[in-house]
Structure 1
Amino acid sequence: MGSHEVARRWADALDGVVAPTLTRSRIEDLLTGLAEELLAALRGSAEPVTARTAAAALVAANYRDEAAVGRTVPIICRDMVTALCPDRDDPEFERLRERAITVAAEFAAGFTAALRTTALAEQEATLTAALAAAEEARAQRQLSEARFAAIFADASVGIGTVDVTTGKVLDVNAAMAEMLGVPTDLILGRSVAEVLGAENIGRAYAQFEQLRAGTIDRFRIETDHARPDGDRTIIDLSMTAVRDATGRARFLVGVCVDITERKALADQLWHDARHDHLTGLANRVLFFERLAGSTPPIGLCYLDLDGFKEINDKFGHTVGDRVLRAVADRLRAATEPDGLAARLGGDEFIVLLPRCIDTEQLVSMSGRLLAALTEPITVTGRAISVGASAGTALVTRHPEAIDDLMHTVDAAMYRDKSTRHRPRTRRRQHQP
């Protein structure tokens, strides 16, 4: 399967997500070029960060719905991996799949960044147009007011004006009223404090008061707004004082963008980039982030499954994947709430135990993990026994560089890995 076939499947997956600005043939041409870049990243001939450029290209082609990410990730992790290595039993297949996860995470991060850049550019353009129209009103009032009214009424972002002296709302457009969850006629003529309500008086309102007092000229902030109907909206608010020729503030203009869905997408992408797609456990990225942020002493327990290859060979990879998910569920239950269980790849798992008191606590954790795997796992009516080997390490001194800490942990883990079914703890101190 070449890059063109991958691009065709990619185009099929994206069909219906949005109304793109390109024809089907031009979409396939675009995706063929992007697929070649992503395949190069999977091979290792290009850096995974290349995926960010591919994501930005999709956003530029008007693919701005979060579904574009959800439909692209399987193309990267399944179709592109299969295109490069059709044989799942080939040792190269697992390496490609692990690299595909990293490439997919970079794609998701790039998609979020490109969406935010595009949205902010549109927001700034709207605010600039509104301010330009307001300034033009001083010299050509009748014409400019008509232009401002058109921008004000039809804008997809929320726009409102406030009297700088009284703090009362002069006007709002329909988008602003919808965002706040309050009808327009219940907003006009009321103070901003009354419109927002006591629950929403906070940091944004404090900056609004500074703007009225003249101590600042503008501000921009993200704020969590509780609507009267019980829903919560995350709003990106920009507010500016509009001044006359003498420098006196005439009124305040605010522009709001509802970023609730965008924030939810960003949170989901953050989660997906830091969790194993098969088991839902933390992946290497999140594990090493938590490791770097932990304060010694830190307990680490490494496990790998005994005979897992034989399970794949005998029952197939589908059963093997279900076994891995069951193992992950048991490790998670045995670890929480004290520690973090992560899948490093294949049949290798590791548990981080922050604020580990001593070796006894670490050995106890290791015993709990092994005990959790003693009962057979039932898959499609079969009782499958899974053994495990465990090694432990206690890191008592945090190194200055995370790379040094990773080296210390890897050395201890692989040294203890040779101890089968007999948890043993080594007290490790990072040596500068």
Structure 2
Amino acid sequence: MSSDDDPIDPLPTPHRPRLASAALRLATRAVDAAAAQRWRDTATILTLRGELAAQAALIQRQADALADMTRIFEAASAEARIGLWQCDLPDESLRWSEGVYDLFEFPHGSPVSRPETLACYTEEARRHLVAVRAEAIGRRSPFTLDAEIVAGRGSRRWIRITGSVETRAGVPVRLFGFKQDITEQKLSADRTRYRAEFDRMTGLANRSVFDERLAQLSESGALFLVDLDGFKAINDTYGHAVGDVCLQEAARRLRAACQETDLVARIGGDEFAVLVEREADGPFCEAIGRRIVAAMRDPYHHRGVCLRFGASVGIARVAASAPADLFTRADAALYAAKAAGRGTLRMALPR
């Protein structure tokens, strides 16, 4: 057979395996690269999920801690009778913690307005609060004041208000601070002051207060010394209990007769003193003295017994001489009134 009759081989057989192998390698590398990328993406997603889970757990722990601290604060606030308040400016909208609601005896979470709140303050406390608040806003400064309120259910209490002024670009935008119930402290302080300044038996000012006010008496003032007549006989006859009742009645009468004066004090057993700190001329002093003598002269009926006592009065005006010997001169005038038969008054002569 001639060469023209031989079958024709189109390509050498070794070339086809090389092409298939190259394509396969390319495809394999692409698959491997895609798998690697997918693995990396999966790892990244897992990492991000882990980080997000950790952040979520941290946020939850912080939220739990904040809620726990809030519960502790509310419990401590309730125990201390204290609460947080804030007032946004200029619309005067209020926000309170539960402690402030309790102070004012308002339902927790109920809407509150500044006019409604101010209505709870006594008139004097309201004036003081408005003035202090306006000054604090004007000066952008913190403030503190004590005020008396009548709460929603009628309870009277004293509260201490502390506040600060928040500003933005120099403009006041909010007030905030604490309100605390100080009723017990206030009453305790008042009792302590009362014991320090007032006579326990009669409720009049005591000797300490009298001495302090006497030292400050102006040159136009006057001093009255009052000594009860017949008190010793009552004390000896009926006993100290009845004598104490007579002292209390004498103090009541003395207050009523001396409403135009500035201080009425008990300075000894049955000795009293009256101070006039403004201008006191002779006729004014004599009129007060006569009222004292007349008031003490009326009989006093106690448990079926008619008790009689009176008063002698010595008066010294500061204008008549130096104030240093005012008490000595008034005491001399008192002695003169007793020597004149008791139940009368004498004015100290000028020196």
Instruction: Name which of 148, 152, 160 aligns with 2:73.
Output: 152
Report the residue type matching 2:268 in the other structure.
G
Structure 2 equivalent of residue 416 of structure 1 = 333
CA–CA separation in structure 2 for the residues paired with 1:378 and 1:158: 51
Query: What are structure 2's unaligned runs of at least 5 residues?
Result: 1-57
Is contact 1:158-1:173 (8 Å) kept?
A: no
In the other structure, the counterpart of 2:134 is 206
Partner Cα distance (2:290, 2:118) in 1 = 54
Q: Residues 16-64 of structure 1: CA distance to partner in whole angstroms, max 9, x if unpaired? A: xxxxxxxxxxxxxxxxxxxxxxxxxxxxxxxxxxxxxxxxxxxxxxxxx
Letter in 2 for 1:183: P
Partner of 1:186: 110
Give the drift of 1:394: 0.6
Give yes or no for contact 1:159–1:176 (8 Å, CA) kept in 2: yes
Report the CA distance between 1:301 and its aligned residue: 1.8
Does residue 257 in structure 1 map to residue 257 in structure 2? no
TM-score (norm 2): 0.63
Cα 1:165–1:141 change in 2 (3 A) is farther
Count matched residues. 273
Q: What residue is the counterpart of 1:117 in the other structure?
A: none
Q: 1:205 to 1:307 in 2, by over 3 A?
A: closer
Which SS does the other structure have where 1:417 is aligned? helix
Instruction: Go from structure 1 to structure 2 and tell me whether the alpha carbon gap of 1:398 and 1:277 turns closer, same or farther (over 3 Å shift).
Output: farther
Correspondence for 2:317 among 394, 397, 414: 394
- Structure 1 regions of 5+ residues with no counterpart? 1-136, 244-248, 400-404
1:157-200 CA-partner distances (Å, limit 9, x unpaired): 33336486887556x4322211133323224xx7x746735776
1:210 and 1:318, CA in 2 relative to 1: closer, same or farther beyond 3 A?
same
Q: Deviation at 1:380?
A: 3.4
SS at match of 1:287: helix
Match of 1:328 among 243, 251, 258: 251
1:273 equivalent in structure 2 = 196
1:354 aligns with 2:287: no
Return the alpha-carbon distance in structure 2 between the equivalents of residues 251 and 384 of structure 1.
66
Give the Å deviation of 1:358. Answer: 1.6
> Over alpha carbons, which structure has the higher Rg?
2
- Counterparts in 2 of 1:317 and 1:242: CA distance versus 1, 3 Å: same
- Kindly report which structure 2 residues correspond to 1:109-258, keeping only aligned pairs within 5 A, or say none: 141-142=62-63, 144-154=65-75, 155-156=77-78, 157-160=81-84, 162=86, 168-169=93-94, 172-187=96-111, 193=114, 196-197=117-118, 202-203=130-131, 205-206=133-134, 209=137, 215-216=140-141, 218-225=142-149, 227-229=151-153, 233-240=157-164, 254-258=177-181
- C-alpha distance in structure 2 between counterparts of 1:395 and 1:175, whole Å: 55
How much does 1:398 deviate?
9.7
Deviation at 1:143, TM superposition (A): 5.7
Where relative contact order (Cα < 8 A, 6+ residues apart) is larger, the structure is: 2
Structure 1 contact 396–427 (Cα < 8 Å) conserved: no
Deviates more, 1:286-295 or 1:313-322: 286-295
Residue 411 of structure 1: CA displacement? 1.2
Question: What is residue 263 of structure 2 aligned with on the other side?
Answer: 340
Look up the SS of the partner of 1:296 in the other structure: coil
Q: Is the 8 A contact 1:394 1:426 kept in 2?
A: yes
Shift of 1:257: 0.7
Root-mean-square deviation (CA, aligned residues, Å) is 3.9
Q: How big is the shift at 1:256?
A: 1.7
Query: C-alpha distance in 1, partners of 2:87/2:261?
Result: 54
Distance 2:298 2:150 in 1: 48
Matches within 5 A, 1:370-389: 370-389=293-312
